[in-house]
Amino acid sequence: MMSVPYLLSRHLLCPLHERVLGRRTFARLRQIEREQWRSPVEVRLLQMRRLRSLLRHAVQHVPFYASRYRPASSVGRDGEPERLNLRALPTLSKQDIRAHADELIWPESPGRLRPYSTGGSSGDPLHFFIDRPRQASDAAARILTHRWFGVDAGRRELFLWGCPIELTRTDRLRAWRDGLFNHRLLSAFDLSRERMREYAEVFRRFRPRCLFGYPSTLSRWAEHLMTHEAAMPTGDLRAVFVTGEVCDPVQRRTLERCFRVPVADGYGSREAGFIAHQCPAGSMHVIASEVFVEVMDGDRPAREGEFGEIVVTHLHALGMPFIRYRTGDFGRLLPGRCPCGRGWPRMDAVQGRRTDGIHLPDGRFMHGLAVIYVLRETPGVEQFQVRQTSDFALEVRVVTSDGAASDVLGRIESGLRRVVGDQVPVRVRRTPTIERAASGKHRPVLSDVESGGARPGQSSHRAPRPAVAVGADAAFEEVIA
Ligand SMILES: [Zn+2]
What spacing in Å lies between the alpha carbon of 316 and ligand 1's midpoint? 23
Distances (CA, A) of 298 to 301, 326, 330, 360, 403: 8, 11, 12, 18, 40
Together in a domain, 264 and 383: no
Q: Are 51 and 292 in contact (CB under 8 A)?
A: yes
Distance 138 CA to ligand 1 centre (A): 19
| 260 and 300 together in one domain | yes
**Is 459 a domain residue?**
no
Residue 383 and residue 320 share a domain: no
58-64 CB contacts, 8 Å cutoff, 24+ apart: 58/321, 58/323, 59/84, 61/106, 61/107, 61/108, 62/103, 62/104, 62/105, 62/106, 62/320, 62/321, 63/103, 63/107, 64/96, 64/100, 64/103, 64/104
pLDDT (tens, 9 = 90+) of the chain, 481 residues, equals 567 889 999 999 989 989 888 899 999 999 999 999 999 999 999 999 999 899 989 999 999 999 988 776 655 555 555 566 787 788 999 889 989 989 999 999 888 898 887 754 334 578 899 999 999 999 999 999 999 999 999 999 999 886 554 455 666 777 777 888 899 888 876 678 888 899 999 999 999 999 999 888 899 899 999 998 877 777 899 999 998 877 878 889 999 999 999 999 999 988 899 999 999 999 999 999 999 999 998 888 888 888 888 999 999 999 999 999 998 888 899 999 999 999 999 998 876 544 467 888 887 767 676 787 788 778 888 888 899 998 999 999 999 988 888 899 999 999 999 888 888 999 999 999 887 644 345 677 888 886 543 333 333 333 333 322 233 333 333 332 2
Measured in Å, residue 277 CA sits from the centre of ligand 1 at 9
Q: Is residue 403 part of a domain?
A: yes
Task: Estimate the share of the chain in helix, then strand, then coil, as percent rounded to the nearest 5.
Answer: 35, 25, 40
Same domain, 393 and 435: yes
Instruction: Identify the pLDDT of residue 170.
Output: 64
Question: What integer pLDDT is reported at residue 356 of this predicted model?
Answer: 62
CA of residue 443 to ligand 1 center, whole Å: 28
How many structural domains compose the chain? 2
Query: Nearest-5° angle of CA 313, CA 25, CA 247?
Result: 60
pTM comes to: 0.76
Q: Domain check: are 196 and 343 in the same one? A: yes
Tell me what pLDDT residue 174 has: 74
Expressed in angstroms and rounded, the spacing between residue 254 Cα and the centre of ligand 1 is: 23
Check which CATH number belongs to the domain holding 446 and give it: 3.30.300.30
Taking the centre of ligand 1 as the mean of its atom positions, its distance from the CA of residue 4, in whole angstroms, is: 32
Examine residue 133 and state whether it is found in any structural domain, yes or no.
Answer: yes
Could you tell me if 339 and 406 lie in one domain? no
User: In angstroms, what is the span from residue 238 Cα to ligand 1's centroid?
Assistant: 17
Expressed in angstroms and rounded, the spacing between residue 37 Cα and the centre of ligand 1 is 10
Distance between Cα 371 and ligand 1 center (Å) = 27
Q: How far apart are CA 276 and CA 351, in angstroms?
A: 12
Does 366 share its domain with 252?
A: no
pLDDT at 250: 83
Q: Domain containing 192 — which CATH number?
A: 3.40.50.12780
Considering the domain boundaries, does residue 458 fall inside one? no
Alpha carbon of 278 to ligand 1 centroid (Å): 7
268 and 403 belong to one structural domain: no
Same domain, 399 and 347: no
Domain enclosing residue 444, as ranges: 357-453
Rounded Cα gap, residues 283 and 302, in angstroms? 20
For residue 321, what pLDDT is reported?
A: 96
| Ligand 1 center–CA 337 separation, angstroms | 8
What is the 342 CA–ligand 1 centroid distance (Å)? 6
Q: Tell me how far the alpha carbon of residue 60 lies from the centroid of ligand 1, in angstroms.
A: 37
402 & 477 share domain: no
Cα 148 to averaged position of ligand 1 atoms, centre (Å): 10
Are 139 and 181 found together in one domain?
A: yes
Distance from the alpha carbon of residue 400 to the mean position of ligand 1, in angstroms: 30
* Distance of CA 343 from the midpoint of ligand 1 (Å): 8
- Range 461-464, long-range pairs (CB < 8 A, 24+ positions): 461/355, 462/122, 462/123, 462/355, 463/122, 463/352, 463/355, 463/356, 464/118, 464/119, 464/122, 464/123, 464/352
Centre of ligand 1 to C-alpha 282, Å, is: 6
Distance CA 161, CA 178 (A): 14
127 shares a domain with 17: yes
Q: How far is the CA of 98 from the centre of ligand 1 (A)?
A: 37
State in Å: Cα 305 to ligand 1 middle: 17
